[in-house]
Structure 1
Amino acid sequence: MTSTETSQHHAQLRAWAKGNYGLEAATELLIRGFNGRFADPGNPWIHPTTSGHWIDFDTIPAQIGALSGGEQRFLQITSALNDGDTTVNLGRALAGLDRHHVHLILAGIAHAAGTHEHQQIRFRPDRTVTFARPGAIYRWDQPASSPAETPGRGTAVKAIS
Structure 2
Amino acid sequence: MTTILDIPPSDLAAALRRWARGTYTIEAATELLIRHRYWPARAEFRRLAIEYVTDTYDGEPLAVIGWQAAHTALNRGRLAYSSSEAAVLRLAVSLAESIPVNLGEAISELDTANLGRVCAAIRHAGGDRSAWPQSEGSTSRLADTEGR
TM score, norm. by length of structure 1:
0.65
Shift of 1:69: 1.1
Which of residues 51, 58, 70 in structure 1 aligns to 2:84?
A: 70
| Identical positions, percent | 34
Equivalent position amino acid for 2:94 in 1:
A
Equivalent in the alignment of 2:68: 58
Between structures 1 and 2, the one with greater helix share:
2
Equivalent in the alignment of 2:139: none
Equivalent in the alignment of 1:106: 119
Q: Secondary structure at the match of 1:97?
A: coil
Shift of 1:108: 0.3
Note the residue ranges of structure 2 that are not aligned, 5 or more in a row: 55-60, 137-148
Cα separation, 2, equivalents of 1:15 and 1:41: 20
The higher-RCO structure (CA 8 Å, 6+ apart) is 2
RMSD of Structure 2 on Structure 1 (CA): 2.4
Equivalent in the alignment of 2:40: 39
Q: Judge conservation of contact 1:46–1:56 (CA < 8 Å) in 2.
A: yes
State how many pairs are aligned: 119
- Which entry has the higher C-alpha Rg, 1 or 2? 1
Q: Judge conservation of contact 1:58–1:85 (CA < 8 Å) in 2.
A: no
Cα separation, 1, equivalents of 2:34 and 2:23: 16
Note the residue ranges of structure 1 that are not aligned, 5 or more in a row: 117-135, 145-161
Runs of 4 or more above 6 Å deviation: none
Q: Secondary structure at the match of 1:93?
A: helix
